[in-house]
Amino acid sequence: MRTKNTLFYRGNQCVSVDFSATEISSDGSLILLEKLERDHNLLSHFAALLPDNRNPKYITYSRAHQLKQRVFMLMLGYEDANDVTHLQKDPLFKDILQGDLASQPTISRFENSFDKESIFKLSYAWIDRYVLSLKGREKVIIDVDATDDSTYGSQQLSMFNGYYGKFMLNELFFHDGETGQIILPVLRPGNSHSNRWYVGILRRIVRKIRATYPDLKIIIRTDSGFSCAPFYKLVADYDLLFATGQASNAVLKRKVERCEKAVKHLYVDRHIKHQHFISFSYKAKSWHTPQKAYTKIESTGKGLNVRHFISNIKEQEAREIYFDFYVKRGEASENRIKEVKNMCFSDRLSNHGFLANFFRLFLSSLAYEMFLLLKKSIKKTTFLKAQKWQISTIRTQLLKIGATIKITKRRVYYQLSKAFVNQHLFREIITL
């Protein structure tokens, strides 16, 4: 009987396996996430805004319970509602939630229970929370960018997008270019152009900021897909600064043709790296007034690269606007969107209903915001290397810890693995 669990022999040593160990969780960091939530009340704030039309007689799980469960699952790498089947007996989840986990059908009903009015209410609350965080700042940079979310089922408003060449939903993000905060996440139909809805939403955001901080400098930073007549009218009406990319066209090609030929002759043909900037006034037919346009004509050593951008920032030269400000949107916006999409799973919008998927986008964005709070805590520690971690690295190096729990009448003991490499970093963060 002693050898029935034997797998193999390593020399004279018998290697066997059984399931006699005490209950162990791979998510020992749940206590850290719970402390983070208690310190900042991010999830509690939004849970209080969620409508609940259920019959109180039949309610087992509150909206706060469901929201916390779903966001904590996303943070720990559990992408879908049906992943809860793997966590039903997890002792740490049950302790943090103070009860059993809501089942997959319950979570699915939760995600599908919000109407258009609820989504609008949450959107306004998201902007209000951001505006409250601006106290003491002299300027704010608003980065606007969109990303694709491929669809493979029968999701509402999943449509073919010619630019991306696939059926998809379209996600639009407004980010703070300095802190990385999500100002507002928006879900759009799959065939949406980049600038669909965004000027109207941006106007609401600017109005909210100006109503509270009338002297705050606001700078808008976007790529070429967001360059359009309503945008330039908006920045003129509200006296905003901006830098935006501009797609090439026949008029712009004629304006830079002579300079382009010179760079090609002097540098490209000789495989020499060189950057040259020119500026000029440019106005598309639909624009109400001309704008200051810039073009970077670059010999990369392997060919010619031409980029157009438009800006009304007067204190800086073209090179400074481009390298010291505009290209930083790659780290401030594009990389942050990658974290929301690929590491907080906003690309898993697999509900049928459009509004349910809109709410899923909110859930992923809340998980991102929780990680952002965790990043701020990491920056207060002495671990310099950890301060550069992105979300996927934080999850692997800090959150996935083997742990057990022991509950007595007066105490709850979380016992984390002795083999955990980053236990000193964990200890610093949790004692802040």
Specify the CATH number for the domain of residue 189.
Answer: 3.30.420
Q: Rounded to two decimals, what is the model's pTM?
A: 0.94
pLDDT classification of 3: cutoffs 50, 70, 90: low
- The residue from 261, 292, 312 where one domain ends is 312
Helices (H), 28-102: 30-40, 42-47, 63-75, 91-96
Convert the pLDDT of each residue in 153-211 to its tens digit.
889 999 999 999 999 999 999 999 999 999 999 999 999 999 999 999 999 999 999 99
- Domain end residue (candidates: 293, 312, 331): 312
- Residue 256 pLDDT > 70, yes or no? yes
Q: Which domain holds residue 195?
A: 116-241+316-343
pLDDT band for position 1 (cuts 50, 70, 90): very low
Does residue 160 share a domain with residue 38?
no
Same domain, 184 and 276: no
CA distance 422 to 385: 12
Position 220 scores a pLDDT of: 97
Whether the per-residue pLDDT at 359 is higher than 90: the answer is yes
Per-residue pLDDT tens digits for 397-431: 999 999 999 988 899 999 999 999 999 999 999 99
Q: What percent of the chain has pLDDT over 70?
A: 99
Mean pLDDT value of segment 221-243: 96
- Residue 426 maps to a domain: yes
φ/ψ (deg, to 5) at 138: -95, -25
Closest Cα partner for 92 from 20, 27, 7, 176?
A: 27
**212 and 331 share one domain:** yes
pLDDT at 160: 96
Report whether pLDDT(13) > 90.
Answer: no
Number of domains in the chain: 3
Would you state the pLDDT for residue 156?
Answer: 96
Between CA 309 and CA 306 the distance in angstroms is 10
Asked if 203 and 226 touch (Cβ cutoff 8 Å), the reply is no
According to the model, what pLDDT value does residue 17 have?
84
Tens-digit pLDDT profile for residues 54-73: 899 989 999 999 999 999 99
Is 12 part of any domain?
no
| Per-residue pLDDT, 153 | 86
Q: Are residues 137 and 222 in the same domain?
A: yes
The verdict on 37 and 145 lying in the same domain is: no
User: Residue 368 falls within a domain, yes or no?
Assistant: no
Using DSSP, state whether 141 is helix, strand or coil: strand
Residue 36 belongs to a domain: yes
**pLDDT tens-place string over residues 300-350:** 988 999 999 999 999 899 999 999 999 999 999 999 999 999 999 999 999
Please choose, from the candidates 157, 159, 160, 189, the residue with its C-alpha nearest in 3D space to the C-alpha of residue 172: 189
Residues 218 and 139: their CA atoms lie apart, in Å, by 6
Indicate whether 213 and 331 sit together in one domain. yes
Mean pLDDT of 372-376: 97
122 and 199 housed in the same domain: yes
Quick: pLDDT tens for 142-154. 999 999 999 998 8
Q: Kindly state whether residues 320 and 306 are assigned to the same domain.
A: no
- pLDDT at site 346: 96
What is the phi/psi pair of residue 187, to 5°? -105, 135
Within-domain flag for 107? no
- Does residue 142 lie within any of the structural domains? yes
Task: Tell whether 120 and 223 lie within a shared domain.
Answer: yes
Angle at 350 between CA 349 and CA 351, to 5 degrees: 100
In a domain, residue 106? The reply is: no
Nearest by Cα to 181 from 241, 134, 119, 243: 134
Asked whether residue 129 falls in the same domain as residue 226, the answer is yes
Distance CA 236, CA 288 (A): 10
Within-domain flag for 8: no
pLDDT at 2 over 80: no
Cα–Cα distance between 292 and 310 in angstroms, integer? 6
From 295, 326, 343, give the residue that closes a domain. 343
Per-residue pLDDT, 309: 96
* Mean of pLDDT values over 115-128: 95
Residues 136 and 201 in one domain: yes
Mean pLDDT in the chain? Answer: 94
pLDDT surpassing 70 at residue 37? yes
* Shared-domain flag, residues 335 and 217: yes
